[in-house]
């Protein structure tokens, strides 16, 4: 997990509330690009969790959110 976070592939991760699972906010051009990182997760590799991958294309972003993670997203107009 740390390797992918340091590289910028994983942007944020943590438990869900209520504690029904967790999430990883990841950046990639395709699911195939993310598969090696996801399959290396111990919970996934041991079959302890079900994985649902949801994709989105950000349309807007906060000024502080790095443009490299949401290249097409525009900061809101002031």
The predicted-structure confidence for 6-60, as pLDDT tens digits, reads as follows: 888 888 889 999 999 889 899 888 889 888 888 888 888 999 988 898 999 889 9
pLDDT band, residue 78 (cuts 50/70/90)? low
Q: In terms of Cα–Cα distance, which of 73, 69, 76, 75 is closest to 7?
A: 69
Is the whole-model pTM more than 0.85?
no
24-39: b (≥16 Cβ within 10 Å) or e: bebbeeeeeebeebbe
Q: Which residues contact 55 (CB under 8 A, 6 or more apart)?
A: 31
d(CA 57, CA 38): 20
Query: Residue 17's pLDDT is what?
Result: 93
Structure tokens at 61: 């972003």
């Amino acid at each position: 997990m740390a390797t992918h976070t340091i590289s910028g592939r994983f942007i944020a991760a943590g438990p869900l509330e209520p504690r029904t699972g967790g999430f990883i906010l990841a950046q990639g051009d395709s699911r195939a690009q993310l598969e090696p990182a996801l399959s290396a997760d111990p919970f996934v590799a041991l079959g302890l969790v079900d994985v649902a991958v949801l994709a989105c294309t950000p349309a807007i972003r906060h000024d502080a959110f790095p443009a490299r993670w949401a290249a097409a997203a525009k900061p809101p107009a002031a």
